[in-house]
């Protein structure tokens, strides 16, 4: 496994990958991502910076395209969430299927996975999602608003991502965008 750090128009990001398997994704931040990875990394994983001119890693190109307004329906990687508890895995596997431009409430996801009273647990699964964006937890919203978001930038980042998808001409039914 190796960390790949790279820049997008929204800031620096990183992904932890091996081959076609994705283990972690850190959403954009204007912090020094490589310094953060060095502090958080016990030396187990190498860190490689991917330049904008380097098109060798398809996922990174797709992430850059997404934040530039592109519609990405297939990230081309296999997300690995095998280390999560079973309920979290079941929740996030369902969230993974929510298409670009659509949103669902925490309660709708809970109902869809056969646990209609577990909307808060669905929220906790999303909060612990190690692969946001690819497993699009930003598309899961509260019944009366955006809900929470634990990634860099918090709810503002979630709203930015939803607005990006809403602004795209291929949108479907994103009903929680605020003007």
6/171 Cα distance (integer angstroms)? 27
Query: Is 176 within 8 Å of 162 (Cβ atoms)?
Result: yes
First-to-final CA distance of the chain: 41
Pairing, β 11-18 against β 2-8: antiparallel
- 132 DSSP assignment: B
Marked catalytic residue, from 60, 137, 140, 164: 137
Q: Classify 113 as helix, strand or coil.
A: coil
In the residue annotation, 40 being an active-site residue is answered as: no
Catalytic residues: 137
């Amino acid at each position: 496994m190796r960390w790949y750090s790279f820049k997008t128009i929204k800031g620096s990001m990183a992904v932890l990958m091996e081959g076609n398997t994705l283990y972690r994704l850190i959403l954009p931040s204007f912090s020094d991502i490589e310094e953060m990875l060095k502090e958080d990394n016990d030396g187990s994983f190498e860190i490689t910076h991917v330049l904008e001119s380097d098109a060798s890693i398809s996922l990174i190109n797709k992430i850059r395209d997404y934040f530039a307004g592109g519609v990405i329906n297939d990230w081309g990687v296999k997300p690995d969430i095998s280390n999560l508890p079973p309920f979290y895995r079941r929740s996030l596997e369902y969230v993974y299927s929510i298409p670009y431009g659509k949103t669902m409430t925490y309660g709708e996801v809970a109902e869809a996975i056969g646990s209609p009273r577990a909307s808060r647990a669905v929220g906790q699964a999303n909060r612990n999602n190690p692969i946001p964006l690819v497993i699009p937890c930003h598309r899961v919203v509260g019944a009366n608003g955006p809900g929470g978001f634990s990634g860099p930038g918090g709810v503002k980042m979630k709203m930015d991502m939803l607005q990006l998808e809403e602004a795209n001409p291929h949108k479907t039914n994103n009903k929680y965008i605020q003007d």
